[in-house]
Amino acid sequence: MATRIEFSKHGGPEVLQAVEFTPRDPAEHEIQVENKAIGINYIDTYVRSGLYPPPSLPSGLGTEAAGVVSKVGHGVTHIKVGDRVVYAQSALGAYSTVHNVLADKAAVLPDAISFEQAAASFLKGLTVWYLLRKTYEIKPNEVFL
């Protein structure tokens, strides 16, 4: 058994409930992660409130976490059981003790980075990279705030 935070109706924090569930085995190209730390992002409040409604209710919450891979689905070759990973942009449900994630949404986590550091910064780091490399590439000697 595992535990996740989910909600069955939109609203404030009072709609969140801890629920026991049996995790399914990872599908093809997925990994199963035993989360050690989760990333909490402002967009999670939008999902919970219904501003960005989830595909269906009840729904899990969160898309970012870090932990240890416990199972690997068919077709996954770059990540193995026991690897420390961080992931972002998963399907909703990262606020859980166990979460299945597409392997291409995960990165192997170096030992020098804690689960807490990774879960708190991965999505924010991806956002900064996107803004500074894809939206507008900063040039040498250019000033930016």
- β-strand partners of 7: 59
Q: Which distant-in-sequence residues (6+ apart) come within 8 Å of 2 by Cβ?
A: 20, 21, 22, 23, 96, 97, 98
SS3 of 114, please?
Answer: coil
pTM above 0.95, yes or no: no
Give all domains of the chain, ordered by start, each with its CATH number: 2-135 (3.90.180.10)
Structure confidence at residue 94 (pLDDT): 98
Compute the distance between CA of residue 46 and CA of residue 139 in angstroms, rounded to an integer: 35
pLDDT tens by residue, the chain, 145 residues: 999 999 999 999 999 999 999 999 999 999 999 999 999 999 999 999 999 999 999 999 999 999 999 999 999 999 999 999 999 998 999 999 999 999 999 999 999 999 999 999 998 888 888 888 889 888 889 887 7
Structure confidence at residue 126 (pLDDT): 87
What strands lie across the sheet with 98-102, from one edge to the other? 98-102, 30-38, 65-72, 84-87, 106-108
Identify the CA nearest to 67 among candidates 93, 34, 113. Answer: 34
Q: Name the helix (H) or strand (E) containing 129.
A: helix 115-130
Residue that is written with structure tokens 């801890």 in the block: 18
